[in-house]
Amino acid sequence: MHRSRLLLGIAAVFAGITVSMATLGFVYNPFLVVFAVPFGITAAILWYHATGRLAEKIEREAAYRDANGEFGPNPGAARERARRRTRQRTRRRADARARTQATVGGPSGPSTAEAYRILELSPDADADAVRRAYRKKVKSVHPDREDGNEEAFKRVNRAYERLQNDR
């Protein structure tokens, strides 16, 4: 609504009411000044909108707004965004490290030599031999079997994962 005559007219009416009420308030009853204030604010907003300055301000702010919804070249905001990105990267690395430790068996997981010993293999065994030994060992210690052992099953899984990660 750039340069709207109707809005300018309404703003002029509100400005006239504001001036009249303020004048009467100072002359007769100061309480009328309290009622003049909202009319003055309304007149200012209508004038601001009618002249197109409100739309220009909104466009400037939209262009000035950065991708995160924050305003302007604020060095503090840039530093805060950098800190936030660093914290996110650190958190992702820690999560990845925790996942790796969880799958391998944690920091106390078997070493490569222990993994070969658990699967009853020689250290020069190829990937196919490791897979066959793992399947054979898992079938014998699986917890669903009557003579199964859950701890042995977990140990075999950790050993196999260690050998898979080392390749």
Over residues 80-100, the pLDDT tens digits come to 777 888 888 888 877 777 666
Other Cβ atoms less than 10 A from the Cβ of 134: the count is: 21
- List CB contacts of 2: < 8 A, sequence separation 6 or more: 51, 52, 55
* Rounded CA separation 137/167 (Å): 20
Identify the residue with better confidence: 15 or 57.
Answer: 15
Residue 104 confidence (pLDDT) above 50 = no
The mean pLDDT of 136-141, rounded to a whole number, is 91
Give the pLDDT of residue 75: 58
* Homologous superfamily in CATH for domain 112-166: DnaJ domain (1.10.287.110)
| pLDDT higher than threshold 90 for residue 74 | no
Of residues 5 and 138, which shows the higher confidence score?
Answer: 138
Q: How far apart are CA 73 and CA 117, in angstroms?
A: 61
Strand extents, DSSP E, the chain:
none
Confidence of residue 128 (pLDDT cuts 50, 70, 90): very high
pLDDT, greater one: 24 or 1: 24
pLDDT score of 145: 86
pLDDT digits (tens, 9 = 90+) for 29-63: 888 888 899 989 989 888 888 888 877 877 777 66
pLDDT at 101 over 70: no
List all residues 6 or more positions away from 20 whose beta carbon is below 8 Å from its beta carbon.
none
Q: Is 159's pLDDT higher than 80?
A: yes
